[in-house]
Amino acid sequence: MEVYSAKDEYLGTGHYQKGSIMVRIFSFEKVVPGVSFWKSKIQKAFDYRKSIGLTDDANTNVYRLVYGEGDGLPGLIIDYYNGTAVIQAHSIGMYRERNHLVEALKEIYGTKLKAVYDKSKESLGASGTKVPPESEGESELKNSYLFASDHEKQVLENGLRFHIDWEEGQKTGFFIDQRENRKLVAQYAAGRKVLDCFCYAGGFSAYALKAGATQVHSVDSSKTAIKLTDTNIGLNFGKDARQTSFDADAFDFLGSHSSEYDMMIVDPPAFAKHRDARHQAVMGYRRLNALAIKGIKPGGIILTFSCSQVVDKYLFHGAITAAAIETGRSIRIVKYLSQPADHPISIYHPEGEYLKGMVLYVE
Q: Which residues bind ligand SAH (CB under 6 A)?
A: 170, 175, 178, 198-201, 203-204, 219-222, 225, 249-251, 267-269
CB 81 within 8 A of CB 71: no
Are 73 and 104 in contact by the 8 Å Cβ rule? The answer is no
DSSP SS3 for 346: coil
Q: What DSSP character marks residue 69?
A: G
Nearer to ligand SAH, 39 or 163 (CB): 163
The answer to whether the beta carbons of residues 117 and 83 sit under 8 Å apart is no
111: exposed, middle or buried (Cβ count in 10 Å: 0-12, 13-18, 19+): exposed
Residues designated catalytic: 307
CA proximity to 128, closest of 269, 25, 17, 16: 17
Q: Cα–Cα–Cα angle for 54, 337, 86, nearest 5°?
A: 40
Shortest spacing between CB 184 and ligand SAH, in angstroms: 12
Instruction: Tell me the closest approach of the beta carbon of residue 269 to ligand SAH, in angstroms.
Output: 4
Residue type (1 letter), 138: E
Residues in the chain: 363
CB nearer to ligand SAH: give 97 or 267: 267
Q: Does an H or E element contain 3, and which? A: strand 2-4
Nearer to ligand SAH, 23 or 197 (CB): 197
Based on CB atoms, which residue is closest to ligand SAH, 118 or 196? 196
Minimum gap (Å) between residue 288 Cβ and ligand SAH: 9
Choice between 221 and 346, CB closer to ligand SAH: 221
Q: What strand order describes the sheet that includes 193-197?
A: 243-247, 215-220, 193-197, 263-266, 300-306, 356-362, 331-338
Long-range contacts, stretch 95-103, CB < 8 angstroms, 24+ apart: 95/120, 95/124, 95/131, 95/138, 96/134, 96/138, 97/33, 97/38, 98/146, 99/146, 100/33, 100/34, 100/35, 100/38, 101/38, 101/42, 101/76, 102/146, 102/147, 103/35, 103/39
Q: Is 24 helix (H, G, I), strand (E, B) or coil?
A: strand
CA terminus-to-terminus distance, the chain? 58
Shortest Cβ distance from residue 9 to ligand SAH (Å)? Answer: 45
Nearer to ligand SAH, 99 or 224 (CB): 224
Minimum distance from residue 142 beta carbon to ligand SAH (Å): 23
Q: How far is the CB of 147 from ligand SAH (least distance, A)?
A: 26
Q: What residues contact residue 110 under an 8 Å CB cut-off, 6+ apart? A: none
C-beta of 4: minimal distance to ligand SAH in Å?
42
DSSP 222-251: -HHHHHHHHHHHHHHHSS-TTEEEEES-HH
Q: Considering the complex, state which of residue 69 and residue 220 has its C-beta at the smaller distance from ligand SAH.
A: 220
Nearer to ligand SAH, 14 or 203 (CB): 203
At its nearest, how many Å lie between ligand SAH and the CB of residue 52? Answer: 22
